[in-house]
Amino acid sequence: MNSKIDLVTFRLFVFWYTVGIFLLTFDLVPPPLEWANSVFLILCGVLGGFYFIRTYGIFIGGITVTVIMVFSIAAEVFGVSTGLLFGDYDYNPDFGLVFFNVPFTIGTAWLMVIATTHALVSPWFSHVKSSAIKGFGYVLTASLFAVAIDLVIDPVAFEVKTYWEWGGTDGFYYGIPFSNFVGWFIVAFVLHSFIYVLFHLARVWNKQVHSYWWPRTVALFYMIVFMFTFLCAVNGLWLAAISGVVTMVVARMITNRFNRSHL
């Protein structure tokens, strides 16, 4: 049974999301309200946390959330400090609490990315008998979808909103270095590998579907991709917009095929 906090939290996110799309589309967010971006990222992370904890229990879900937050922030700190993982970049100071030049909200954003890609992809491999094929297929596919999310987020965040800046680079994709996408894949691959191993050891892998949070977490995947795809199109970033459309179409096609084959 869903608690009132689940319902209120998701409805608050939908409200914030809807208002956010309107304000960002017409560039109506004044500088004093840039903190609203941090609230949006925190809400995204909270939804991801609810999905893991409600689906897999407080202990396993809590471990998952903690590892995702700690590892992703540590990876970002390493990246900002060395320029080796995501390229040479710095964050805009409008994202709230900062740890070693990395905003705490980046950890909540990663929590959303990992939760949504896990919820989307894990059912596709639930009936694969070989553990090796199931694990590798899940980890690889979920990691690729995580990179697909980044392909629509970064052009808007970098080109339009300047939420972060890369230095001394001229990447082929809107000036974004290729190493950034490699870094995203590596972080997502490590985290999804951890999730697969942990959930199998804890024997909770087959609990991917929670009646309330699973469909909403999958919907969150599409909502995030749609939001940034739309903003890419509004700002004339057509390659990124096409990438977003392809991501949503491919995800939907695979889901439909999975559903038909397991009716």
- Name the more confident of 172 and 132: 132
Write down the pLDDT at residue 85. Answer: 77
CA atoms 200, 204, 208, 214: torsion sign: negative
Alpha carbon separation from 116 to 119, 147, 165, 168, 249 (Å, rounded): 5, 12, 26, 33, 16
Q: Residue 253 corresponds to which amino acid?
A: M
What tens digit of pLDDT does each residue of 217-246 get? 999 999 999 999 999 999 999 999 999 999
What tens digit of pLDDT does each residue of 178-195 get? 889 999 999 999 999 999
Residue 209 pLDDT grade (very low, low, confident, very high; cuts 50, 70, 90): confident
The DSSP code for 152 is: H
What tens digit of pLDDT does each residue of 97-124 get? 777 778 888 999 999 999 999 999 999 9
> Which H or E run contains 143?
helix 131-154
C-beta separation of 158 from 188 below 8 A: no
- Name the more confident of 208 and 96: 208
3-state SS class at 256: helix
- Rounded Cα gap, residues 109 and 55, in angstroms: 19
Whether the predicted pLDDT of 95 surpasses 80: no
Kindly report which listed range (3-12, 30-39, 70-79, 118-127) carries the lowest average pLDDT score.
Answer: 30-39
Which residue, among 203, 18, 224, has the nearest Cα to 115 in the 3D structure?
Answer: 224
Whether the predicted pLDDT of 211 surpasses 60: yes
> Which H or E run contains 98?
strand 98-99
Mean pLDDT of all residues belonging to the chain: 89
Alpha carbon separation from 121 to 2, 109, 130, 204, 211 (Å, rounded): 24, 18, 17, 16, 17
Residue 168 pLDDT grade (very low, low, confident, very high; cuts 50, 70, 90): low
Which residue, among 134, 158, 102, 119, has the nearest Cα to 255 in the 3D structure?
Answer: 119
End-to-end CA distance of the chain: 26
C-beta separation of 122 from 255 below 8 A: no
Write down the pLDDT at residue 124. Answer: 92
Q: Residue 118 corresponds to which amino acid?
A: H
What tens digit of pLDDT does each residue of 37-53 get? 889 999 999 999 999 99
Kindly report which listed range (19-23, 89-93, 218-222) carries the lowest average pLDDT score.
Answer: 89-93
Write down the pLDDT at residue 107. Answer: 94
Beta bridge partners of 195: none
Torsion of CA 106, 110, 116, 119, to 10 degrees: -150
